[in-house]
Amino acid sequence: WSVLEIRTFDNTTNVDQAYTAGLLEGQATRDMIVLQWANTMADLCNGENAKFCKYLREFLTIQLEWMYDQVNEHPNDEYWHQVSLALIQLNGLIDGYYNVHRGPRMMVDNVLDLLLFQIQTSIDDLGKLLGMPNSEKHDSCSALIKLLPNNEDLYVSHADWSNYKTMLKVLKRYIMPLKRTPTGVPV
């Protein structure tokens, strides 16, 4: 496991904190992102999956446009404000990864880029919905729990049935003194 901790300070806006946190994450984890992309996403849209990715792009674009509309229609709503910050942070991460500084923004330019990491666990479900060839069915794990007679001991065992591509992990900790709304009280 890799570990990443990012701390922002309350002497700047929520938007700047979110973007900067993403920017720093993208720069600090660039090598891990490259490896994870090669392990999980590099071949996603190749060959017979090209049609699926066309549908996936349309699906994600529609979902994001709805989110943008909700954020714009509810500028002081706590929930939608936090959604906007998550999108801004994602764009910061993308900018950090590509080593560009385009500034805080909510709209995602390429839905088949690093946004795919955010929906990685849903790709197979979306594949079934959108007609992805060879969508895999994943049973995620098995466990054994055995209590010995007289409550003498408890044995626990767990086996994860994931493949090796899921082994790259980053434990992330963000310390961000954000406000509930753009002008609101601390979270």
Chain segment 65-78, per-residue pLDDT in tens: 999 999 999 998 99
Encode burial over 86-107: b for 16+ CB neighbours within 10 A, e otherwise.
ebbbbbbbbbbbeeeeeebebe
Fold entry, domain 2-134+167-175: Penicillin Amidohydrolase; domain 1 (1.10.439)
Chain segment 11-51, per-residue pLDDT in tens: 999 999 999 999 999 999 999 999 999 988 888 888 888 88
DSSP class of residue 137 equals P
User: For the chain, which ranges sit under pLDDT 70?
Assistant: 134-140, 160-165, 185-187
Position 139 scores a pLDDT of: 59
Position 158 scores a pLDDT of: 77
